[in-house]
């Protein structure tokens, strides 16, 4: 039993991408950092109590609650989720995908299927091979690195394409909580971390070491959003509808908890 004044230590997982930094402000020392795919695997095996995971992990597995009010989302260009292509999209026979990705692969499948395109998706064997591929899907800091370096590809920004198609934001990741576990204290801790991140966003922009300060400011202030409200929930519902339409399921109704 936990005595008064003691705090239960929860197992929390998050990605180490720049865009997640404001959501773990002040609890970085408690967080297990891994790729989205690895976090999903750990959560499935009950090795974590909460993880910042791809929205598809929650939609495809009816065993989590979503912490309401917090997400990694975008309205329009996201910059860090992209398909780099040397040839027109209509000529895509195979697309090599960042193996860290879960949601982005399914988002790209939906976007292309809505235009009658159903290429083959293969794992990208190595990030060093990305510039050589005609079609390559990249996420997170690897996508930023690719876009900021010299390259011969055109960039298909998945956030921009989704908003253009639906007029909605897109939700990439949420806090997924193990269902059936008492986690009121955990939920409070995660909400407080986000509040701290938002309050100290200028400090994060000024002091993080990734890229340059002008880029960090544009990225945090224009590309990434952290709210999970009614528009974002409508976007999740629309994404669920399109996943079902194109046979990318089964898809379960998300359950939100405050």
Q: Domain 12-75+169-257: what homologous superfamily?
A: Periplasmic binding protein-like II (3.40.190.10)
pLDDT at position 102 is: 80
| pLDDT at residue 71, as a whole number | 98
Mean pLDDT by 10 residues, the chain (258 residues): 54 93 94 91 94 95 96 97 97 94 92 97 93 95 94 97 98 95 94 97 94 95 96 98 95 96
CA geometry: angle 209, 146, 221, nearest 5 deg: 50
DSSP 88: -
CB neighbours of 33 closer than 8 A, spacing ≥ 6? Answer: 13, 14, 15, 16
Enumerate residues 6+ apart whose C-beta is below 8 A from 45: none
169 contacts 225 by C-beta, under 8 angstroms: yes
For the chain, which residues make up each domain, given as ranges? 12-75+169-257, 81-166
Predicted pLDDT at 66: 98
d(CA 9, CA 7): 6
| The domain defined by 81-166 carries CATH number 1.20.1530.20 | no
How much is the pLDDT for 3?
Answer: 39
Count the residues in the chain: 258
């Amino acid at each position: 039993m936990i005595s008064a004044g003691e705090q239960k230590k929860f197992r929390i997982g998050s990605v180490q991408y720049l865009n997640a930094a404001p959501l773990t402000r002040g609890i970085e020392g408690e967080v297990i950092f891994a790729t989205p795919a690895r976090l999903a695997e750990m959560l499935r095996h009950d090795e974590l109590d909460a993880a910042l995971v791809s929205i598809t992990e929650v939609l495809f597995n009816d065993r989590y609650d979503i912490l309401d009010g917090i997400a990694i989302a975008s309205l329009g260009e996201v910059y860090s989720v992209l398909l780099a292509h040397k040839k027109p999209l209509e000529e895509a026979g195979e697309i090599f995908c960042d193996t860290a990705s879960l949601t982005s692969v399914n988002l790209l499948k939906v976007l292309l299927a809505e235009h009658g395109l159903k290429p083959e998706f293969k794992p990208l064997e190595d990030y060093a091979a990305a510039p050589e591929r005609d079609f390559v899907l990249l996420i997170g800091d690897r996508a930023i690195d690719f876009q900021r370096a010299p390259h011969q590809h055109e960039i298909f920004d998945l956030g921009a394409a989704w908003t253009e198609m639906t007029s909605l934001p897109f939700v990439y990741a949420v806090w997924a909580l193990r269902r059936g576990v008492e986690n009121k204290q955990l939920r409070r801790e995660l909400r407080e971390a986000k509040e701290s991140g938002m309050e100290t966003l200028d400090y994060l922009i000024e002091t993080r070491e990734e890229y340059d300060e002008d880029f960090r400011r544009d990225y945090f202030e224009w590309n990434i959003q952290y709210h999970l409200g009614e528009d974002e929930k409508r976007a999740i519902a629309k994404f669920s509808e399109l996943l079902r339409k194109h046979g990318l399921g089964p898809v379960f109704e998300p359950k939100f908890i405050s």
